[in-house]
Structure 1
Amino acid sequence: MKDYIKIGIEKNLISFNEDMSRITYVFQNKERNFNNPEEKVQAETFLRLILDYNYPESRIKQFVPVTMGREVKEADIVVYEDDMCMSPHILVECKRQEVSEAEYQQAIEQAYSYAFALPCEVKYVWVTSGIKSDYFEVDKNQNTRNQMPDIPQFGVKNVASYKYVYDAQYLPEEAGKQRFFDLAVIDQSELTRRFKQAHEALWAGGQLNPSEAFDELDKLIFCKIWDERKPRRMGEPYDFQIITVPKEVEKSETKRRLIENENLCKRVMALYEEGRKKDREVFRDNIRLTPEKIRTVVSYLESVNLGETDLDSKGRAFETFMGSFFRGNFGQYFTPREIVKFIVDVLPIDHDSKVLDTSCGSGGFLLYALNKVRNKATELYPNYLKDVRQHDRWFKYWHDFAEKNLYGIEISEQISRAAKMNMIIHDDGHTNVITSDGLVSDDTIISRTNNQGFKYGTFDFIITNPPFGSTVRQTEQAYLKTYQLGKKEEDWLAVAARPQETRDGQNTEVLFIEQDYKFLKEGGYLAIVLPDGILTNSSMQYVRTQIEDWFRIVAVVSMPQTAFAANGAGVKSSVLFLKKWTKEQTDKLTFTKKNIETQLLNDNNYITQRLQWDKEIKHQQKQKANEIKSAQNISATDAKKTEEYKLWNADLLAMYADKVDELKNKLTEEYQLTKQKQLPDYPIFMAIAEQIGYDATGKKIAVNELDLIGEELKKFIETL
């Protein structure tokens, strides 16, 4: 997009003071406060009239007095037909970029009141907020307004029914004929504003709630992207724009708008269906907006070139907009990008890697994996923009990865759609993002989605931040019994083996460790964010033991307490990097551990000793009951019900319980010592990050220790 301010300064149309707080319109010699948001829109609109529409500066007046009854107000800009500035031609009303849809509609009425109050006849009205514009042809005599796709350029009388065409910059310019416009590339902040305001315009009237409005906006952004990707000849108009109906075709203003809306709706629906034919998983339901609401969204996005807008800028814009809407109730679906970047950067992911996130949320891990491969493609083919052969290889290198090797599972259908949209905006990678419970079996996922890619034992990398704290219960999910970690752990110090029982419930993050193990290839890497309780609580020792059997522990990187505070979670967490053992290695580890347990039980006569103690307890209990029986002349059964017996028995059981605990602790210590000697010894990378680039509120800070930790961890992984 043109930098109108910079060009205006170069052409001496405007000037500024040193701190850019005051703008001077040179020809009129008027100085204004440039910190006023409306003034910035005013300045750019003034410059566009000269630079895009070719109107002479001498025929443009700003801040023109308008008498409204007893009040005198100012019209922002008036363009005149004559050099004497007596015959007003175009009246322009400028509003700040953040104006609401209701305020914007009020601005249209205000502009009309100014147009009717000015002497002589204003022919056109242009209302703009900088990111949205409406154009009208005015007829004072008949008190009508005819909406147009644009105002006429200088010397042009007839305006086409559309404004934006493909490759407009290469069309020859002819005097007296309209010049069409290309779609504009805009920066991140402006694109974010357009997304936000389009979203607000959808739900502000109360017909949709913010969540529904987000879904519908998602669909229309998809249509916009699809429209830009359609092959077109030079000069062919885009479908995703408001195309007006001439007043000669339909005189009624109301009917014209209805016809325009209906035609726009048909074009948008056609785009939507074309896109859905390629991938039905993107959006399963139809667009549910009225034609008028579709027009509202199109008015915010029709002029933007999403395809050529810088990848990072449009990605950040969508994530910022998406984040501002979903954070709070949906904060768990967003892993801070500093943590995501750290994890993806250290892993040796390349274009041949098959990558999965089993609880992908908004798609952050998948996007960074895609960008990593795309950046590698750019390193390999640096001249891809100039060399056609290089471009084909560059595109194939990363796009094959995006289409065939990038997989995501998200249980929330709404968040899954947002993830897909996020991927599409980043130039694809959405094909294998599915809506499903990430803990069901691979066969279930494949049967429900018909996607053969979700097969256990086929992934090179799993990068994920599973949901913390929620519990999967056996009464709710029958699949719990299929998980090893869904069963109660075997106690090797139990006197009698018991049949393995399914737990009543298990934390989701624990089950995801096992699910990710199943999805990984042997030698594959799992990088997972976990609450520290799994790594430290004694009650979670069975989980740590299972991790030891399944994985080589590569690294543990501790995050600060505030890592997820801005997303509404205060759980202290760490990132665990694991490498899946081969089956032979796991079998050898479990066999060695079993041997150690058996040897210790035999060496310490554990079972014999426990049975002897049980025998002693029963003997002493019988003796005590008989003593009380004789002393009180009651039955042995009644003797055991006396307070004397109960107190004595409690002391007896406590004494033997202490003996059992002492023996168990002795064997447990011996087990740990023996295990350390007999199991393979290997280094583990350990680090504590206290500053990670943002504070508890999510505000950016200068220090990010993950950068240095990541460099060292990457080197460590390369040695494995």
Structure 2
Amino acid sequence: MSKLLTTLPDGKICDFIDQKIRNDTPEEYVRQNIERRLVLELGYLPEQIEVEYSIKQGSKTVRVDLAVFREGDQHNQENIWIIIECKKDSVTPSASKDGVEQLRSYMAACDNSEWGMWTNGKKKTVLRRIRTEEGIEYEEPNDIPSKDGNLEEVDRPTRDSLKNAVGDNLLFSFKICHDHIYVTDGLQKQPAFFELLKVIFCKIYDERNVRSPLEFYATALEKKSNDGRLTVFNRISKIFDAVKKQYPAIFDANDEIKLQPRSLAYIIGELQRYSFLSTNIDVKGKAYEELVGANLRGDRGEFFTPRNVQKMTIQMLDPKVTDKVLDQSCGTGGFLVIAMNEVIKKLKQQIEKQSGKAAEQSGVWSEVLNESIKETARSNFFGIDINPDLVKATKMNMVMNNDGSGNIFRQDSLLHPHQWEDSFRKQFAKALDVDPKSLRSENDLAHFDLIATNPPFGSKLPIKDQETLKQYQLGHVWREMETGWQPTDQLQTSAPPEILFIERCWQFLKPGGRMGIVLPDAILGAPGLIYVRYWMIKHCRIVASIDLHPDTFQPRNGTQTSVLILQKKTNEEINRRTMSDYEIFMAQVKAIGHDKRGNIVYRRNEEGEEILVPADPESIPLIERTATGEGTARPLPRQKVEDDDTDFVADEFIDWKKQVVLGW
């Protein structure tokens, strides 16, 4: 474009390929993700792609959503190589006007169009047109080819050809697979999710098995016949046998893949192109956690924390390589995954410093790093949740995002230790390297340096069990005395779980340990809960209080919440008669990146126009060809940026912390 855009009118987007202004619609959302995939995953040059390209179809003129040409070909109807049709998710492939038959008719009108793809973000059909002596035939390959047109890579990818997912394309693939299982195998949402989980584990195991060629694939020929589908099923079942041996805590020895061979072959074909190990953590995290949330969200106050809030909290807590980290209501494991990846960055820096470039180039560096990651996950990362399905989901999240599943256990972490299941007590003690007999009461739990958590909260989940309540000062009735608030011997008739979780987290922390906890604002302001605030001030240093935006947990929950960063005092500090003044970092998140319906909200200028900013310099550059054929890098197009204050809050806190002595 001749003019460099810096803002966008309301309800508009700047096209990734041609940078024209278009309406921001559900169909456009699908197309923009496909455009990014063509360039950033499959390697096409923007100059090879035309958006809303007009073609003649008989006596009428129609427009195809995306037309892709071979590099160097003149852009005309005869030279179109790939036609892509993008629809909103409510349009089905069988739709009379907008379905796959429309794509076939467009391909028929373009003599040399070999490939076609139809997608609505939840379903996808790929067509390859082949000329035979009998006439035109259509195959249904796994995918369209990369820029070099390598058909073998489409059928059976090599390690070198695996792609890193960009945008929401991995989320698209997960939805496509889940919906296919739901429809084809007749499974309900939750069982369908766990069958997909087995397949994802097989994919990751296969990627990690670097001494052998990739076995996680299904060719187009195999997908066409029953024998071929059975071949795929047997091949993946062998991988799953190895998965069960490696992860006995997740899968039983008699577990099997319960998908029909036809369904399994389709899913393998959809997922095989991606590298699950090297795709960006935020891309994987968003895709996986959205899938988990859609299928495993229960009725126990499980409102999973948005990733930006998790990331802000972890950055503020600043996990060290040696820290023992816990989330005792871990949900999908987002806090643990983000903390683990922060630690992995520091491990890389340590190993680079110790080993030097020669070790990195010889491959020793990556082996040392992988062993360090496994050992760190095994020794230092812990998650507990009462929901057995979420325990599995967390283990999967940890495996997918790093090289260790950590120590993820099913248990009600509010229970008195003598009520814990014996198997949990033994496993937990073994992971902590302590004697199980030493975990006798609430006073024996202080083994962790860092806790990041969002406990379930709400009046629908009151804790009434007296054995549970008696472990906590906050489980007792409090009275205001001349010397301040004091707990009495009388137990509450019931207590909200979030209040007890504050004290349980404190019990799990070592003196000087720190926690980031998401709490409803009532705890920080309701007159009837002043005793809770008194307990926190007495037992913890209040390091920071972050008032979250009212829409943080929307669209499912409108509870006003805050993140508290607390540091556990030593016994000496708790027993002091007087308390020294200290600074508390306080901030308000005025923008959370989405509205109350869950739609993304972008940053705007004073006139209300959405702002376009330069792309992240770490993003993959686009390649521009010169007349001599040499490549020169040019930046990605300017893009909208989510209206989200959490990064700013974390940065401000880190600057503030440099001026304040916290001991971490």
Q: Same fold per TM (> 0.5)?
A: yes
Partner of 1:372: 342
What letter is aligned with 2:495? Q
Paired residue for 1:240, among 203, 217, 228?
217
SS in 2 for 1:543: helix
What letter is aligned with 2:261? P
Indicate if the aligned counterparts of 2:85 and 2:103 stay in contact, CA closer than 8 A.
no
SS in 1 for 2:225: helix
Paired residue for 1:318, among 271, 288, 297?
288
What letter is aligned with 2:195? E
SS in 2 for 1:554: strand
> Cα deviations across residues 543-570 of structure 1 (Å, max 9, x unaligned)?
3444355x23232414045163425333
Q: Counterparts of 1:542 and 1:38 in 2: how far apart (Å)?
A: 54
The answer to which of 456-465 and 107-116 deviates more is 107-116
- What is the deviation of 1:226? 1.6
Q: Counterparts of 1:44 and 1:711 in 2: how far apart (Å)?
A: 37
What letter is aligned with 2:186? Q
Partner of 2:49: none
Partner of 1:554: 542
- What is the deviation of 1:506? 1.1
SS in 2 for 1:95: strand
1:133 aligns with 2:126: yes
SS in 2 for 1:505: coil
* Identity, % of aligned positions: 25
Partner of 1:631: none
Paired residue for 1:432, among 390, 407, 414?
407
> Cα deviations across residues 471-505 of structure 1 (Å, max 9, x unaligned)?
65566685334444333347869xxx999343321
- What is the deviation of 1:355? 0.5
Indicate the structure with greater helix content: 1
- What is the deviation of 1:521? 2.0
Equivalent runs, 1:241-280 vs 2, <5 Å: 241-242=218-219, 244-245=221-222, 257-280=225-248
Partner of 1:95: 85
Partner of 1:711: 655
1:681 aligns with 2:572: no
- What is the deviation of 1:334? 2.2
1:356 aligns with 2:298: no
> Cα deviations across residues 593-634 of structure 1 (Å, max 9, x unaligned)?
xxxxxxxxxxxxxxxxxxxxxxxxxxxxxxxxxxxxxxxxxx
Q: Counterparts of 1:140 and 1:112 in 2: how far apart (Å)?
A: 20
1:524 aligns with 2:468: no
Indicate if the aligned counterparts of 2:93 and 2:118 stay in contact, CA closer than 8 A.
no
What letter is aligned with 1:267? R
- What is the deviation of 1:283? 4.6
Q: Counterparts of 1:215 and 1:472 in 2: how far apart (Å)?
A: 27
Partner of 1:219: 198
- What is the deviation of 1:353? 0.7
Rate the CA distance shift 1:73–1:575 in 2: closer, same or farther, 3 A. closer
What letter is aligned with 2:231? N
SS in 2 for 1:281: coil
What letter is aligned with 1:275? V
Q: Counterparts of 1:461 and 1:222 in 2: how far apart (Å)?
A: 29
Equivalent runs, 1:138-149 vs 2, <5 Å: none
Partner of 1:504: 493
1:401 aligns with 2:380: no
SS in 2 for 1:701: coil
Q: Counterparts of 1:314 and 1:237 in 2: how far apart (Å)?
A: 21
Report the TM-score when normalising by structure 2.
Answer: 0.67
Indicate if the aligned counterparts of 1:188 and 1:316 stay in contact, CA closer than 8 A.
no
The answer to which of 183-192 and 327-336 deviates more is 327-336
Q: Counterparts of 1:348 and 1:38 in 2: how far apart (Å)?
A: 38
Q: Counterparts of 1:49 and 1:390 in 2: how far apart (Å)?
A: 29
Paired residue for 1:199, among 174, 178, 181?
178
Paired residue for 2:424, among 430, 439, 448?
448
Q: Counterparts of 2:487 and 2:580 in 1: how far apart (Å)?
A: 34
Q: Counterparts of 2:529 and 2:553 in 1: how far apart (Å)?
A: 24
> Cα deviations across residues 684-705 of structure 1 (Å, max 9, x unaligned)?
4324323354265363326544
What letter is aligned with 1:485? L
- What is the deviation of 1:395? 3.8
Rate the CA distance shift 1:500–1:466 in 2: closer, same or farther, 3 A. same
Higher relative contact order (CA 8 A, sep 6+): 2
What letter is aligned with 1:408? G
- What is the deviation of 1:350? 1.0
> Cα deviations across residues 89-112 of structure 1 (Å, max 9, x unaligned)?
x99764327678950798666778
SS in 2 for 1:335: coil
Q: Counterparts of 1:519 and 1:37 in 2: how far apart (Å)?
A: 45
Rate the CA distance shift 1:287–1:478 in 2: closer, same or farther, 3 A. farther
Q: Counterparts of 2:307 and 2:477 in 1: how far apart (Å)?
A: 37
What letter is aligned with 1:708? E
Indicate if the aligned counterparts of 2:83 and 2:107 stay in contact, CA closer than 8 A.
no
Rate the CA distance shift 1:352–1:91 in 2: closer, same or farther, 3 A. closer
Paired residue for 2:556, among 568, 586, 589?
568
What letter is aligned with 1:310? N
Paired residue for 2:304, among 319, 334, 342?
334
What letter is aligned with 1:191? L
Report the TM-score when normalising by structure 1.
Answer: 0.63
SS in 2 for 1:566: coil
Partner of 1:654: none
- What is the deviation of 1:137? 6.7
- What is the deviation of 1:372? 1.6
Indicate if the aligned counterparts of 1:166 and 1:232 stay in contact, CA closer than 8 A.
no
Paired residue for 2:155, among 153, 157, 163?
163
- What is the deviation of 1:537? 3.5
Rate the CA distance shift 1:458–1:104 in 2: closer, same or farther, 3 A. farther
Q: Counterparts of 1:101 and 1:583 in 2: how far apart (Å)?
A: 63
What letter is aligned with 1:682? S
> Cα deviations across residues 189-228 of structure 1 (Å, max 9, x unaligned)?
3222222232333335692344443333233222222221
Indicate if the aligned counterparts of 2:329 and 2:385 stay in contact, CA closer than 8 A.
yes
SS in 1 for 2:545: strand
- What is the deviation of 1:457? 1.9
Partner of 1:543: 532
Q: Counterparts of 2:328 and 2:29 in 1: how far apart (Å)?
A: 48
Count residues with an aligned counterpart.
555
Structure 1's unaligned 5+ residue stretches are 1-15, 23-33, 53-61, 80-87, 169-181, 246-252, 590-677
- What is the deviation of 1:404? 1.9
Paired residue for 2:449, among 446, 456, 460?
460
Rate the CA distance shift 1:376–1:203 in 2: closer, same or farther, 3 A. same
Q: Counterparts of 1:357 and 1:372 in 2: how far apart (Å)?
A: 16
1:304 aligns with 2:304: no
Equivalent runs, 1:66-145 vs 2, <5 Å: 94-96=84-86, 103=93, 126-129=115-118, 133=126, 135=128
> Cα deviations across residues 53-89 of structure 1 (Å, max 9, x unaligned)?
xxxxxxxxx968689xxx999999999xxxxxxxx9x
SS in 2 for 1:506: coil
Partner of 2:621: none
Indicate if the aligned counterparts of 1:66 and 1:118 stay in contact, CA closer than 8 A.
no
Rate the CA distance shift 1:391–1:292 in 2: closer, same or farther, 3 A. closer
Indicate if the aligned counterparts of 2:130 and 2:139 stay in contact, CA closer than 8 A.
yes
Q: Counterparts of 2:390 and 2:501 in 1: how far apart (Å)?
A: 19
Rate the CA distance shift 1:207–1:492 in 2: closer, same or farther, 3 A. same
SS in 2 for 1:504: coil
Rate the CA distance shift 1:37–1:438 in 2: closer, same or farther, 3 A. closer
Q: Counterparts of 2:187 and 2:514 in 1: how far apart (Å)?
A: 43
- What is the deviation of 1:274? 1.6
> Cα deviations across residues 508-531 of structure 1 (Å, max 9, x unaligned)?
011112222222223322222223
Indicate if the aligned counterparts of 1:471 and 1:508 stay in contact, CA closer than 8 A.
no
What letter is aligned with 1:439? L
Indicate if the aligned counterparts of 2:155 and 2:217 stay in contact, CA closer than 8 A.
no
Equivalent runs, 1:588-603 vs 2, <5 Å: 589=575
Q: Counterparts of 2:67 and 2:349 in 1: how far apart (Å)?
A: 50
